[in-house]
Amino acid sequence: MKRTDFNKEIKITSLIDGKLLGLELKSILYTPNKYRIPVAFSDRVNSADDTEKYISENYSKEDQEKLKHNEEIDNEFLAKVIELNSDDEIKKLAKEYKAKCLDVDYKAPNALRCLTTDDDIENLSGYLVIDSNAILDYSGETLAEFLNFDFSKFNNFFVFFTKYFGMFIDSLSEEDLENLEIDELTDIKLIISLAVKVYENSRENIVQIQNLFKKFVDFLYGYNNSQALKSLTLKQKFYVFYEQNHKDLDDFSQSYYHKGLFNFYYSSTDLEYLKHKDTTELIEKIRKFDANGSKICSGYGIITTNIYTMFYISLYNIVLNNAAMIRQCKNCHRYFTTTKSNTYYCDNIYSQNKSCKDVGNQLSQKRKETKEPAYGKYRSIYSKKATLLSRHPDIYSRKAYEQWKKEANQFMNDIRHGLKTYDEFDKWLDKNK
């Protein structure tokens, strides 16, 4: 592969009211099988030869004919479905065409995918392929992933290296690249050897930029910020941090160009339905086809060759839309995305099948018990009564248990609303042990 054969461009497209970003780039993707099958089994555009080869080697002649028949049925269905306006009509048509399809035991292989830090790189079997890759960035998830990489571990770096290969290609010689081919199966060991070559020289710079973004995110969404900072809006915080760090941020905050039209558009399949003779007809079709405007997309994209620019735009985008936030888990200290400002723990499994959120709630409860002796007393009495009920229901009735629990919960609710105090609760507990 020549260096010029590799397209380093990353296209960033705004989707769903700007709350979601679509990222198009070339990555090194993994597949455990010898066929270069795209993400959708039915999509033969990008790997027609491998798909046809897979079908011919894994399906009988009879099943191959059935597959061709089903493909024709699918095409007929797609041609008609764009003319329909309601979900009921679409469901009816889908049922009609599903009945026309022949039974086939689909044996689609695993599709190409990005590697993850859960993959054991050294013991991984299969192939790597330089391929176009589309990533959906749900409110900063790609940035959160970058912040969580532990670049002291080669395994983490290798995942980053494969996903964003374009940013490292200039660090490799022509000899390094000559055995690589785009869209062809490649020996994993060859890619690992290339990653090893750039690892030590690039790690320090990557970590520096990672730390800069960590400071940026913590400045925006940190738990321990000053009251003065908390009084600012997210956009104001973003402005302040940029003013303080623009020398470091300018390298990628300005590294992009615009591509496309400042316009809005419908997909090519939608346009088939929206064909019209005049404006009146077009308006009427749009009203029926897209009543709430959810199907129309923006017509512009942003192009960059700098992966850090993409992270910067991702952060800018979530601040602009204020639809989510990136926070650091108070338990495992990994960064995660959330839409709730009072969420402090992530959903990652921490230990013994318990998530950080589960562990966090337990720790919060223990802190509350330590701070408020009456609460600890309540939990102790609650536990004793529950045990007594389970072991001696003849002595302590469920009715009495449920009544005590109801009154205790009401007391706790009154405390939360400032109607009663923990001192009053403590006295009540002594009377109702």
At 370 the pLDDT is 58
Helical (H) or strand (E) element with 320: helix 307-321
Rounded CA separation 327/318 (Å):
13
Contact predicate 284/324, CB 8 Å: no
At 96 the pLDDT is 92
Residue 147 in this model has a pLDDT that exceeds 80: yes
CA distance between the termini of the chain: 79
Condensed to tens digits (0 to 9), the pLDDT of residues 357-402 reads 877 766 665 655 556 777 778 878 888 888 888 887 777 888 888 8
What is the percent of the chain where pLDDT is above 70?
91
Q: Is 296 left (phi over 0), alpha (psi -120 to 50) or beta?
A: beta
Confidence of residue 174 (pLDDT cuts 50, 70, 90): very high
Rounded CA separation 140/317 (Å):
8
Task: For residues 141-159, give the mean pLDDT.
Answer: 96
At 297 the pLDDT is 77
Residue 342 in this model has a pLDDT that exceeds 50: yes
At 417 the pLDDT is 64
